[in-house]
Amino acid sequence: MHPSNYRMRLSLDFLRIIVLPSALFHLITTHLIKMHLGFLTALPSYLGFIICCSISKSFLTRMLQHAGRQRSGAKEIPCVRGAWPGNVDILMKMLRAFKTSYILDVYLQLFEEYQCTTLNTRILWTDHIITMDQEHIKFVLSTGFEHFWRGRWQKERMERFLGQGIFNRDDEMWRMHRGNTRPFFARERISDFDIFEKYTARALNIISSTSNQYSGQTPIDVQDLYSRFALDAASEFLFGQNLDTLSATLPVAGKTKMGPKGSATEDPWGSFASAFEMAQQVITARSRVGYFWPVFEIFRDKNAPNAEVVHRWLDPLVKSALGEKERMEKAGICSPVAEKNFLQHLAESTDDSIIIRDQLLSLLLASRDTTACLLTYVTYFMAIYPEVANRLRTEVLEHCGATGSITYEQLRNLKYMRAVINETLRLYPPVPLNVRESRTGCTLPPSDSTYKSSYDADAADPRPLHMPGSTAITFLPLLTQRNKELWGSDADAFDPDRWLEKERLSRFVTNPTMFTPFSAGPRICLGQNYAYNEASFFLVRLLQQFDTFSLAPEAQPVGSLPPLEWKRRKGRQAEEQIWPAAALTLFVKGGLWVRVAREAH
Ligand code: HEM
């Protein structure tokens, strides 16, 4: 069934779970045992039979899984045991906690409670695996790649927004997208910094003129600014035409409402950004509700209006690319790939305007929110640790001077900057969690060494774990990358030097999948080097011009500062001065409002 047809899926499930058992019960009572049920007994009897069928099915599934485990010599993934049937209390607790708790803390608490790194939440009798286990994440993404795919449920949630783009497809279509996209991230293409130069200059002009360069009096939402910078640069890189969002209305300190992710503006760009972000929030909310989300959207697909706004921006670009292709074909002109932009190249490969649009949208999503997130959190660290900003600036001035063009080699020599970027990606990976689905049952390797002493009675039982078939697995790189067992007791601390000191770095060198901000395996990020270049380039220019960054909590929209109760918790949560949140990608709730200034030298 097509993933967009969630109402049909729900109807078929209704048929399977309610109607078929009812019909069977009717058949048994009226024709086989010829029993007449009275008005008062009919309803409970039917309901009882339906529940019995569900329990039997669940029992049968467990038996089959048990047999599978016996065959493979694997053990069961530990299961959360709630107080209510179907772990409904756990579901309610999670839904409540998502609103106020620290990012992914809900999951961390479960792992701590059960003293293991991979768990089955089994909410509403449906297996759902969550993992922060480095070995299991490596298996899902890389060594056991063929056992997993994005799967039916994820596609169903994302279809209206991401359609047939690379993030929402597997197998043939995914391979086609990946093959088409990869050449556009070849070294020579992404080392041409003209585009970064142009949009960095625009963004920095905005900072200068808004904040009053030497005093930095007026705060600015840099998360919003970086999103515009990343989108304008990516749109020119990908389709040779800039969406020019840096020219649209900017959010104003103290007068800005909270948008779905950051701050909101009321103009055409504001409506695009809002729809773009809202669509991601809707997808996240669907995944929290789980399998039954269509029940809440039976009459209204919540992403239909968001998708419509976003498509209205992209459709004309696609139309014009297809028109240009037709004109070129008529004129008998055929230009080599090297001279084409990504959109032109896509248009060459297919006439299907929907596929082209969906892939374009996926790349805009990939390039805007992730890079903006990285720059936002680097700025956050420069604001709360001024010594980091000073050290970065010293390195920049030493290797790149105060002005002049920047080369790829110069960027490569900025070792401390690379360490700051990596440390930021470790603590705040722009994709903090992700989901895959098992194609069939398979065996996860033995767990990593976290909690080894406590859950192992099992130390004597280091068996692998049985992963049930057609089951979702949510993996949580943010938790893995803050795991003290892997990173040492200071795992929560921001310390770029861990990337520079040989001995400490060896932890990662010998075990690279403990750091996967760009994912791993066959679906590893295609834009990784583009992102490193873009972020480094931007930071060089920023630090050549400015040296002082300070948070402006009074400018944060109401409700976007971290709750006081976080102070009583441990780890980063206790000292957090902003509210990290996630909707497909990580962001700062309400935006990151900072004063950016340059001390008069
Ligand atoms: C700091 C910046 C970035 C981070 C942290 C990041 C992270 C990721 C991650 C975690 C994935 C895997 C997603 C999944 O499998 O579900 C991914 C995939 C991808 N990324 Fe990035 N990304 C970044 C920037 C970019 C940029 C700038 C582009 C392009 C302009 C890009 C293009 C892609 C593409 C096309 C994929 C899909 C690969 C596939 O499914 O085969 N990324 N990225």
- pLDDT digit string, tens, across residues 273-323: 888 889 999 999 998 888 889 999 999 999 999 999 999 989 998 999 899
pLDDT tens-digit profile of 459-481? Answer: 556 789 999 999 999 999 999 99
pLDDT of residue 570: 87
Strand partners, 45: none
- Residue type for position 348: E
Highest mean pLDDT (candidates 29-33, 133-137, 448-452): 133-137
Instruction: Pick the residue whose CA is nearest to atom 40 on ligand 1.
Output: 523
Percent of the chain scoring above 90 in pLDDT: 66
* 400 assigned to a ligand binding site: no
pLDDT tens-digit profile of 59-80? Answer: 898 898 888 888 888 999 999 9
Kindly state the greatest CA–CA separation across the chain: 97
Ligand 1 in reach of 527 Cβ (< 6 A): yes
pLDDT of residue 158: 95
Place of tokens 């996860």: 444
pLDDT of residue 477: 98
Quote the ligand 1 centre to 429 CA distance (angstroms): 11
Ligand 1 in reach of 265 Cβ (< 6 A): no
**Residue 451 pLDDT > 60, yes or no?**
yes
pLDDT tens-digit profile of 239-266? Answer: 888 888 898 888 888 777 776 666 666 6
pLDDT of residue 130: 97
- Residue type for position 393: R
Q: Do the Cβ atoms of 567 and 574 come closer than 8 Å?
A: yes
Average pLDDT, the chain: 90
Atom number of ligand 1 nearest to Cα 434: 16
Quote the ligand 1 centre to 49 CA distance (angstroms): 48
pLDDT tens-digit profile of 104-118? Answer: 999 999 999 999 999
Ligand 1 in reach of 366 Cβ (< 6 A): yes
pLDDT of residue 103: 95
Quote the ligand 1 centre to 542 CA distance (angstroms): 24
Ligand 1 in reach of 78 Cβ (< 6 A): no
pLDDT of residue 565: 92
Instruction: Pick the residue whose CA is nearest to atom 18 on ligand 1.
Output: 525
Place of tokens 């099992």: 458
pTM across the whole model: 0.93
Average pLDDT of the segment spanning 400-427:
96
Quote the ligand 1 centre to 417 CA distance (angstroms): 21
pLDDT of residue 261: 65
Average pLDDT of the segment spanning 541-548:
96
How far is residue 206's CA from residue 245's CA, in Å, rounded to a whole number?
12
How far is residue 512's CA from residue 496's CA, in Å, rounded to a whole number?
17
> Of 95-104, 296-305, 423-432, 487-496, which range is least confident?
95-104
pLDDT tens-digit profile of 149-174? Answer: 999 999 999 999 999 999 999 999 99
Ligand 1 in reach of 370 Cβ (< 6 A): yes
**Residue 100 pLDDT > 60, yes or no?**
yes
Percent of the chain scoring above 70 in pLDDT: 95
How far is residue 571's CA from residue 25's CA, in Å, rounded to a whole number?
55
How far is residue 5's CA from residue 49's CA, in Å, rounded to a whole number?
29
Tell me the Ramachandran region of residue 122: left when phi exceeds 0, alpha when psi lies from -120 to 50, beta otherwise.
left
pLDDT tens-digit profile of 176-222? Answer: 999 999 988 887 777 779 999 999 999 999 999 887 755 668 999 99
Highest mean pLDDT (candidates 45-59, 314-328, 456-470, 511-525): 511-525
Strand partners, 594: 220, 551
Token duo for residue 194: 């003209």
Token duo for residue 447: 């767990």
pLDDT tens-digit profile of 361-378? Answer: 999 989 989 999 999 999
Give the closest residue to 195 by CA, choosing from 241, 227, 226: 241
> Of 275-289, 416-430, 534-548, which range is least confident?
275-289
The DSSP annotation for 474-495 comes to EE-HHHHTT-HHHH-TTTTS--
Instruction: Pick the residue whose CA is nearest to atom 1 on ligand 1.
Output: 371
pLDDT of residue 268: 65
Distance of CA 432 to the CA centre of its chain: 6
Ligand 1 in reach of 230 Cβ (< 6 A): no
**Residue 98 pLDDT > 90, yes or no?**
no
Phi, psi dihedrals of residue 115, rounded to the nearest 5°? 50, 50
Instruction: Pick the residue whose CA is nearest to atom 20 on ligand 1.
Output: 525
pLDDT of residue 260: 66
pLDDT of residue 289: 84
Look at residue 220 and give its three-state secondary structure.
strand
Atom number of ligand 1 nearest to Cα 522: 41
Atom number of ligand 1 nearest to Cα 431: 10
The DSSP annotation for 59-110 comes to HHHHHHHHHHHHHHT-EEPPB---SSGGGHHHHHHHHHHHHHSPTTHHHHHH
pLDDT tens-digit profile of 389-403? Answer: 999 999 999 999 999
